[in-house]
Structure 1
């Protein structure tokens, strides 16, 4: 493995860690580590017609699609996702309030980071509807528990939407899974090595990447401010879904009698600090 390929693999590892947690965008990690343009450009080359290059031989197909880069990145991301998923499954099973408090801090600052990129006009015009939509979605229970083919379609659709969010800096793919009520089931599938569910999710993600990469690039280039305004509101509304203090799944205010109050507040601050560090690194990378 060359140094360059190893470096891409390590970047993928960091992106995998990030995408396992709502609030941190894998796209942001790609931007911070200097591979975002290559990533989006490489994904944009993937289209059904481009597979016709296989007639010219595997080498031509491989080089045209920059598959050395994609495979190295994918291996790193898979390792990062597996490691972080194991940790999150354990914490969510034993101390859910602590896990959600850290994720709430991440998401809170990530929302502020997107808001800072948005103009006040669009925050008002589209941020408010986005906030309302986020609150409505977050106050629900997500997609209903289903089995069989309906479950497969839910995972496929969730993967498609999550991948679309994944390549936008500042928007987390895991955040989309939280909104859909698929975050815990997907973590469980990773933990249990449920290859059937993971294959369907991966297929949805592949479709999402191929369909969205060019569209998102065009949309962000021509309608960036309206998109950011709506996404800011949506993310703000979705914070209700991550609120760590709950009684029978209903969000409540913390009390002084809560034995985990200090730890929960501390992890919220820690999550916010981690997101602030990533946002600062992202701004520095964008300027350089």
Structure 2
């Protein structure tokens, strides 16, 4: 069980450092999305009361401690050890890598956790997600050589939304804000000041957005899931936006095909993990 959750964390961590795919998307595909939202929202006043009374075991159980801690360890491990590899792949195989990401998103919408029911809410959700992606398309990517510490905090506050909103990539948000490379360098060089400020912003943003998501899941579940479905579909072109490789060199068909095959294998892995995750997650909801 712990190994499986750790693997889920590894996959979510990888998604968080790849521009174009989000940890929220992976959590949704893996069937742990609602359990994750529930666990994050459990850090409330009751949790604090348990801590004040030194009821550590009750507090740990309330926030689904084994799940959230193992998932977080997997994510941090993935982000720290694979950030350099991701940069290398992006630079060395840009077309194949982006093809891989695009096919992962495309194949994933056919999986049960993401595929919504066709209804009025579905079309409203698709329209709203289209408008949001249109805003992202029209946003010029920032390219700031130096950013202030307050801006790093703001980046964490905004980019963390991708952890709980499928379809929106946190790395892509950082690209738009001009802090993507700065954060990868901070991770590589263990710049504690930058990392702590980013983490502080992320924590504040995370608890704010998850409360909204939890309320929406309870009251407007079909609409919310339709928005997620639309975001995943419409964000695929974001992966290719402003890509000089599309105009400066021939598309490598072999890389595209390989990217698609690897993506299909990964999505099949997601499907198998998702089935067991859904069964275990139902205990906590």
Classify the TM-score, shorter chain: 0.7 to 0.9
Change in CA separation of 1:110 and 1:97 when aligned onto 2, cut-off 3 Å: same
More displaced 10-residue stretch of structure 1: 87-96 or 189-198: 189-198
Q: Deviations over 1:135-173 (max 9, x none)?
A: 3312432456362144223322234312332xxxxx256
Change in CA separation of 1:40 and 1:125 when aligned onto 2, cut-off 3 Å: closer
Deviating beyond 6 angstroms after TM superposition, the runs of 4 or more aligned structure 1 residues are none
Decide whether the 8 Å contact of 1:131 with 1:237 is kept in 2.
Answer: yes
**Which one of 257, 263, 281 corresponds to residue 266 of structure 1?**
257
**Which one of 215, 236, 240 corresponds to residue 237 of structure 2?**
240
Decide whether the 8 Å contact of 1:135 with 1:238 is kept in 2.
Answer: no
Shift of 1:243: 1.6
Shift of 1:269: 1.0
Decide whether the 8 Å contact of 1:152 with 1:197 is kept in 2.
Answer: yes
Change in CA separation of 1:158 and 1:191 when aligned onto 2, cut-off 3 Å: farther
Decide whether the 8 Å contact of 1:156 with 1:201 is kept in 2.
Answer: yes
Shift of 1:232: 3.1
Q: How does 1:77-96 map to 2 (within 5 A)?
A: 77-96=75-94
Q: Identify the residue that residue 108 of structure 1 maps to in structure 2.
A: 106
Shift of 1:57: 2.4
- Secondary structure in 1 aligned to 2:160? helix
Check if 1:124 corresponds to 2:145: no
Taking structure 2 as the reference length, what is the TM-score of the superposition? 0.74
| Structure 1: distance between partners of 2:167 and 2:227 | 15
Check if 1:178 corresponds to 2:177: no
Decide whether the 8 Å contact of 1:122 with 1:229 is kept in 2.
Answer: yes
More displaced 10-residue stretch of structure 1: 201-210 or 105-114: 105-114
Change in CA separation of 1:205 and 1:211 when aligned onto 2, cut-off 3 Å: same
Q: Identify the residue that residue 168 of structure 1 maps to in structure 2.
A: none
Decide whether the 8 Å contact of 1:13 with 1:80 is kept in 2.
Answer: yes
Decide whether the 8 Å contact of 1:16 with 1:26 is kept in 2.
Answer: no
Decide whether the 8 Å contact of 1:179 with 1:238 is kept in 2.
Answer: no
| Structure 2: distance between partners of 1:15 and 1:227 | 21
Change in CA separation of 1:140 and 1:287 when aligned onto 2, cut-off 3 Å: closer
Q: How does 1:266-285 map to 2 (within 5 A)?
A: 266-274=257-265, 276-278=267-269, 280-281=271-272, 284-285=275-276
Q: Identify the residue that residue 15 of structure 1 maps to in structure 2.
A: 12
Shift of 1:30: 7.9
| Structure 2: distance between partners of 1:283 and 1:54 | 33
* Aligned residue-pair number: 272
Q: Deviations over 1:73-122 (max 9, x none)?
A: 32222112223322101122333333222222223333555773242534
Q: Identify the residue that residue 137 of structure 2 maps to in structure 1.
A: 138
Is there any run of 5+ residues in structure 2 with no aligned partner, and where?
280-285
Change in CA separation of 1:53 and 1:162 when aligned onto 2, cut-off 3 Å: same
Check if 1:163 corresponds to 2:180: no
